[in-house]
Structure 1
Amino acid sequence: MKSIYLDVLIVLNIYVNFFLLRATARFTHTPLKTSRCVVSAVIGSVFSLTILLPLSNFFAVLAIKLIAAAVIVAAAFGIADKRQTLKLILYFYIVNFVFAGVIMVLYLTFKPSFMAFNNSYFYVDFSLISLVVFTAVGYFAVTAVRYFMDKGCDTSHHFKVIIRYQSDIFSVDALADTGNSLVDSFSGKPVIICPSESFKRFEEVYDEITAENAVNLYENYGIRLIPYSTIGNSGLIAVFSPDEIIITDEETGKKFKAEALIGINPKDTPAIFNPKILC
């Protein structure tokens, strides 16, 4: 192919970046607003212009890809939590690498006249309808894979959630329930709902957990308030970020390290977590 049209290149990569971000969000169970996904995809499309650069150094190309991944992920998901951000960058880079690998194989195998590949970016000169169909099929495939992975999560077992927070260690009986879909929109982490009686260190502030005291709660106890909604009920729930969470399957003995927030439930019930945390 002798010519590369910049408008086609930009539009193509906006679509591809949108798909890659959605795939990353799907695999990590991280919420992603459509508006942020679109903006991030547009920002990422700018990096596709490096296809025009005469780069031959592998490390230079790798550095550009790493920088691009970090910028795109930060724009899409934010950088509230460093560990979560690094995890998202890793997943985004893996998805990107696999996708680019497939395109590279097609390019080297068939050498199509309508495709160009350089600096790990590709250019395909085809119709917009074909592009939409291609993206939809790809996202459907990723969704199907994630669905079957989640389906393999066994929710019938009994679990125990072990929480380490500063000098304290809490152990709470827990149930896996898909009904708990609560996610903190700020950090992107799921929330494990635990009974308040498990956390004796917070007893003195239970009566002070109100929206008016939100700043004081966070500064003195590391507690934040986030909105929740259930059938016929909604409000604010107190959450905190522990140093470590281990979920143990009481029947198999398997242990899972979880990245989540702990929500404080005033009712005396077992802890409830979404089984997707285990997958």
Structure 2
Amino acid sequence: MQTIYVDVLIVLNIYVNYFLLRITSGITHSPLKTSRCIAASLYGSFFSLIILLPELGNITALIIKTAAAVSIVAISFGIHGKKRLIINTLAFFAANFVLAGTVYAVYSLFKPEFMHFNNACFYIDFSLLILILTTAALYGAVRLLRIWLDRTPEGSYRVFIRSRSKVIAVNGLADTGNGLVDFFSGSPVIICAADYFTELTGCELDISHLPRGFRLLPCTAVSGNGLIPVFRPDEVIISCTSGEKKPVDAVIGFGDCGGKAVFNPKLLKI
């Protein structure tokens, strides 16, 4: 029987959990603090110890893995309603299935001696130096890809926002600095000037008396932390200089933004 080193098993799973949670965050557009991600990765790594137990059977292993996934996601992203928790958990499961399926395919084809499967968990006996070098190379590749994807596209934009029978058109500004995401839906937030709140609703902006359908969302800016009113319109379309019109899934917020509709250019690529 293959020897399994617990320290290698724990480190491997911290490493894997961290990247799976980052992938989950990217899929669901849910904000993820590094401290929470590390804490959840460490917590989740202890569930990998079930590989040391006698074979539990598929149902028992699935129950344990499901409990682990839900609790890991809750620690990572917090609990912002049942729907949001389910969405994040399903995305985390999907990332796990892709990884596990890939690893199992390699295991089935080549039967390497340094890999071991049991109770829906896998173990890879690796060199710490190789892990560090691989992580550094992967991090560098991801950073370069992120820089390329996050570059601000050139051109001018118009953002059309429809709420019931009311439609407004606002000059748009693609800004990678707007990373604000709605906690409940995971949708990116497009920030408009307060004047457009009045144009849409017919009333002055007063965060203590918001119209039906609006709620407050915490946000962080250079000037400090605060709350902005947000709502989900019936339709949002971003028009580019090329004439292309792209419907986007976004929440509209109102705050100080220089009179334009400020959106993250990632919206144009989703």
CA distance in 1, matches of 2:46, 2:122: 13
Which amino acid in structure 2 is aligned with residue 246 of structure 1? V
Q: Which residue of 1 aligns with 2:135?
A: 135
Which amino acid in structure 1 is aligned with residue 246 of structure 2? K
Deviation at 1:148, TM superposition (A): 4.9
The answer (yes or no) to whether the contact 2:160–2:168 under 8 Å persists in 1 is yes
The answer (yes or no) to whether the contact 1:27–1:146 under 8 Å persists in 2 is no
Within a 5 Å distance, the mapping from 1:27-42 to structure 2 comes to: 27-42=27-42
Task: Indicate whether 1:159 and 2:158 are aligned.
Answer: yes
With normalisation by structure 2, the TM-score equals 0.77
Q: Which residue of 2 aligns with 1:236?
A: 226
- The answer to which of 220-229 and 125-134 deviates more is 220-229
Q: Which residue of 2 aligns with 1:213?
A: none
The answer (yes or no) to whether the contact 1:237–1:263 under 8 Å persists in 2 is no
Q: Which residue of 2 aligns with 1:212?
A: none
Task: Indicate whether 1:183 and 2:184 are aligned.
Answer: no
The answer (yes or no) to whether the contact 1:180–1:272 under 8 Å persists in 2 is no
CA distance in 1, matches of 2:182, 2:246: 29
Q: Which residue of 2 aligns with 1:96?
A: 96
Q: SS where residue 73 of structure 1 aligns? A: helix
Q: Which residue of 2 aligns with 1:115?
A: 115
CA distance in 1, matches of 2:138, 2:110: 20
Q: SS where residue 32 of structure 1 aligns? A: coil
CA distance in 1, matches of 2:69, 2:149: 25
Which amino acid in structure 1 is aligned with residue 261 of structure 2? A
Deviation at 1:64, TM superposition (A): 4.1
Deviation at 1:240, TM superposition (A): 1.9
Q: Percent identity?
A: 38
Q: Which residue of 1 aligns with 2:192?
A: 194
Q: SS where residue 17 of structure 1 aligns? A: helix
Which amino acid in structure 2 is aligned with residue 226 of structure 1? P
- Report the structure, 1 or 2, having the larger helix content: 1
The answer (yes or no) to whether the contact 2:115–2:123 under 8 Å persists in 1 is yes
Count of residues in correspondence between the two structures: 264
RMSD: 3.5
Change (3 A) 1:221 1:113: closer
Q: SS where residue 122 of structure 1 aligns? A: strand
The answer (yes or no) to whether the contact 2:175–2:262 under 8 Å persists in 1 is no
Q: SS where residue 156 of structure 1 aligns? A: coil
Change (3 A) 1:202 1:159: closer
Unpaired stretches in structure 2, ≥5 consecutive residues:
none
1:180-206 superposed Cα distances (whole Å, 9 cap, x missing partner):
424258656543111223223766553
With normalisation by structure 1, the TM-score equals 0.75
The answer (yes or no) to whether the contact 1:161–1:172 under 8 Å persists in 2 is yes
Q: Which residue of 1 aligns with 2:264?
A: 274
Deviation at 1:223, TM superposition (A): 3.6
Change (3 A) 1:224 1:90: same
CA distance in 1, matches of 2:111, 2:221: 53
